[in-house]
């Protein structure tokens, strides 16, 4: 089970991993906490009045296409996008949005989804949300709560039979080692790297946020193309000419052929580092 904040997050974080596991017979469910209603249109080719006026519906249609490409199940858990506040000082979050929900109210539908789907492994963001969007931070909080609470019969009554997931992972997608490897691979081929400025500014960002320790690297290079197809399905959010696709697939496959994770919690014995999210899971790893 992958727990995400908005439609398109599932295609930018862990998508090749999911595609790989699904094609080996593993069931995968994406739980999307909000509908992305307050997201902007980031692909200018989609900046049209009909799209702008119907953005919530359009984003759901994009999600439907992406989940078909990835081969996963997916469900929206019904909360309203909080938007990304901007300004100094930051404006208050809108009433009723996901980030302002009481913790138990925000977690309850996810606990119900865990108890129904019965996953062995849950994937989500770390405590900083991967980046400081209030919905990503809230998603981290409810995913941790669901991992801890879903197996307890005394908690969240009325949401199904208890089920205890065995492993909880955080995405470690945009870490320095990977970005450096992709950058150097581009430069060595005489190609323009999209990461030069990002790496130059990395130390300044690192002063405010430490990187997760990578415990698990899942080989999934053969599925990077499927990941990119799923990304492109989110046409309002992904510019085909943008930075997501600046590094050719063959360069990515050679320079960094894995998607990476931090094992945050495990109720089974496993030996680090791992190459399989199901390592140690009885009958799975």
DSSP 80: P
Question: Cα-flanking dihedrals φ and ψ of residue 179, to 5°?
Answer: -60, -40
List the CATH code of the domain at 2-174+213-266: 3.40.50.10320
- Quote the CA–CA distance of 279 and 72 in Å, as a whole number: 21
Q: How many other CB atoms are found less than 10 A from the CB of residue 25?
A: 6
- Quote the CA–CA distance of 151 and 93 in Å, as a whole number: 32
Positive or negative: CA dihedral 128, 135, 140, 219: negative
- Quote the CA–CA distance of 246 and 63 in Å, as a whole number: 23
Whole-number pLDDT of residue 41:
95
Tens of pLDDT, residue by residue, the chain (285 residues): 999 999 999 999 999 999 999 999 999 999 999 999 999 999 999 999 999 999 999 999 999 999 999 999 999 999 999 999 988 888 999 999 999 999 999 999 999 999 999 999 999 999 998 888 999 999 999 999 999 999 999 999 999 999 999 999 999 999 999 999 999 999 999 999 999 999 998 877 665 567 899 999 999 999 999 999 999 999 999 999 998 999 999 999 999 999 999 999 999 999 999 999 999 999 875
Positive or negative: CA dihedral 280, 107, 29, 41: negative
Helix (H) or strand (E) holding 79: strand 73-79
Whole-number pLDDT of residue 205:
66
Whole-number pLDDT of residue 208:
59
Residue 83, SS3? Answer: coil
Q: Where are the domains of the chain?
A: 2-174+213-266, 176-210
Question: Cα-flanking dihedrals φ and ψ of residue 184, to 5°?
Answer: -65, -35
Helix (H) or strand (E) holding 250: helix 249-255
- Quote the CA–CA distance of 274 and 176 in Å, as a whole number: 19
Whole-number pLDDT of residue 172:
96
Q: How many other CB atoms are found less than 10 A from the CB of residue 188?
A: 11
Whole-number pLDDT of residue 130:
83
**Partners of 121 in the β-ladder:** 167
Whole-number pLDDT of residue 207:
53
């Amino acid at each position: 089970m992958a727990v995400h904040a908005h439609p398109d997050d599932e295609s930018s974080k862990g998508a090749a991993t999911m595609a790989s596991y699904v094609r080996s017979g593993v069931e995968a469910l994406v739980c999307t906490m909000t509908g992305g209603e307050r997201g902007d249109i980031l692909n200018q080719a989609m900046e049209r009045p009909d799209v702008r006026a119907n953005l919530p519906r359009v984003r759901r249609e994009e999600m439907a296409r992406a989940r078909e490409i990835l081969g996963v199940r997916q469900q929206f858990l019904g909360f309203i996008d909080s938007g990304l506040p901007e300004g100094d000082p930051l404006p208050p979050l809108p009433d009723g949005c996901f980030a302002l929900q009481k913790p138990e109210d925000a977690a309850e539908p996810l606990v119900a989804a865990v108890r129904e789907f019965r996953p062995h492994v849950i994937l989500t963001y770390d405590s900083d949300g991967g980046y400081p969007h209030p919905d990503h931070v809230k998603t981290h909080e409810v995913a941790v709560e669901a991992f801890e609470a879903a197996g307890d019969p005394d908690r969240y009554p009325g949401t199904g039979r208890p089920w205890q997931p065995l492993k909880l992972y955080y995405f470690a997608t945009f870490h320095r080692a990977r970005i450096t490897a992709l950058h150097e691979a581009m430069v060595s081929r005489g190609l323009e790297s999209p990461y030069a400025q990002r790496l130059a500014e990395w130390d300044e960002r690192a002063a405010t946020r430490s990187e997760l320790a990578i415990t698990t690297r899942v080989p999934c290079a053969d599925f990077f193309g499927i990941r990119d197809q799923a990304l492109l399905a989110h046409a309002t959010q992904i510019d085909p000419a943008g930075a997501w696709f600046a590094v050719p697939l063959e360069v990515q496959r050679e320079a960094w052929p894995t998607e990476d994770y931090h094992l945050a919690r495990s109720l089974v014995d496993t030996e680090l580092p791992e190459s399989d999210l199901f390592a140690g899971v009885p009958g799975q790893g």
